Amino acid sequence: MKKKQPTSVVTGAAGFLGSHLTDLLIARGHKVIGIDNFVTGSVDNIVHLGGNPNFKFIQQDVTEFLFLEGPVDYVWHFASPASPIDYLELPIQTLKVGSLGTHKAVGLAKEKGARFLIASTSEIYGDPLIHPQPEEYWGNVNTIGPRGCYDEAKRFAEAMTMAYHREHKVETRIVRIFNTYGPRMRINDGRVVPAFISQALKHKPVTIFGRGTQTRSFCYVSDLIEGIYRLMMSDYDLPVNIGNPVEMTMLEFAQQIIRATKSKSKIVFKPLPQDDPKQRKPDIAKARKLMKWEPQVKLADGLKDTIKYFRTKV
């Protein structure tokens, strides 16, 4: 007997991560129903799927009721503004997609008897007092600061997910995503990778906030999506960090981008924004143990593909 083709619903399917997830799911035999309202997503990210019989697209705000006919096996909730520029400009939409949007998406999973995955974030750790950050750490978040709308939306989304898991027995998964980069990032989204690369490609000064001593770790998008897929297919229902544990300072990262783009850019320093985390590095012991996952793509290789993509956008 032929195995039934699984159906996945991806909210935020036209976004950076949502579109890469959609591609992976289709490649692995899923039928995908993508939902996006293009607040921060882009048609360009999914245009290559036009006419694909395994992809159906619905333009809709996920905070409104989701009605879908037919069976659904998996719901992947990726809809959300995800960069500082977005959530500082769209604080209420960010809070609504994390709260109402999660309620509608997990409600759809409950109605369909589907497994649900929420794309959470390392931001729920805030400016962490523990380093690296394990999943058991509860975080250090300023609820009323400028970043609070994003941090609290994701913390609420995790709480909602666990409430549905406990009360309605919905199969749920929570991924905490650390800094990710790759093609399809928006050039002006305010995150460090597009900012540094676009400045370097234009030979403009590369802007570092503070002294450049704050650290980040960067995971290439194909590694991240593979980790998230494995988590959904696992039987683990508590949060799992997915990210790259190789840590570097912003100054080191800026120098690497300038070298990789062969840019004439100089580095300039500006004041540090409020509540900007000083350190960010995932403890991925759980992902290694539970899913046999760890990043494979070296930064130099990932940057090559990312820079190639941005050359077409600058």
% pLDDT > 90, the chain: 84
pLDDT at 271: 87
* Nearest-angstrom CA–CA distance, 242 and 226: 10
pLDDT at 64: 93
pLDDT at 1: 60
* Nearest-angstrom CA–CA distance, 58 and 61: 9
pLDDT at 153: 96
Contact 126, 141 (CB under 8 A): yes
pLDDT band of 224, cuts 50, 70, 90? very high
* Sequence-ordered list of residues with C-beta below 8 angstroms from that of 172, at least 6 positions apart, any chain: 106, 109, 115, 116, 117, 118, 161, 162, 164, 165, 237
pLDDT (tens digit per residue) in 152-211? 999 999 999 999 999 999 999 999 999 999 999 998 887 889 999 999 999 999 999 888
User: In the numeric block, which tokens belong to residue 19?
Assistant: 């579109």
pLDDT (tens digit per residue) in 20-35? 999 999 999 999 999 9
* Nearest-angstrom CA–CA distance, 210 and 290: 37
Contact 221, 180 (CB under 8 A): yes
pLDDT band of 66, cuts 50, 70, 90? confident
* Nearest-angstrom CA–CA distance, 274 and 124: 16
pLDDT (tens digit per residue) in 91-105? 999 999 999 999 999
Torsion angle of the four alpha carbons 85, 87, 88, 89, in this order, in degrees rounded to the nearest 10: 80
Q: List the one residue out of 262, 269, 256 whose CA is nearest residue 207.
A: 269
Give the mean pLDDT of the chain.
Answer: 94
pLDDT at 83: 84
* Nearest-angstrom CA–CA distance, 302 and 218: 10
Contact 88, 150 (CB under 8 A): no
Amino acid (one-letter) located at 133: Q
Give me the mean pLDDT over the 62-74 stretch. 94
pLDDT at 314: 82
User: Does the pLDDT value for residue 82 go beyond 90?
Assistant: no
Q: List the one residue out of 36, 11, 310, 29 whose CA is nearest residue 182.
A: 310
User: Does the pLDDT value for residue 274 go beyond 80?
Assistant: no
User: Does the pLDDT value for residue 121 go beyond 70?
Assistant: yes
pLDDT at 2: 63
pLDDT at 278: 78
List of domains in the chain: 7-181+220-245+280-296 (3.40.50.720)
**Measured in Å, how far apart are the chain's first and last C-alpha atoms?**
51
Give me the mean pLDDT over the 116-144 stretch. 93
181 among known catalytic residues: no
Q: How far is CA 311 from CA 199, 256, 298, in A?
A: 11, 17, 20
DSSP for 271-307?
Answer: PPPTT--S---B--HHHHHHH-----S-HHHHHHHHH
- Which entry of 74, 87, 125, 150 is annotated as an active-site residue? 150
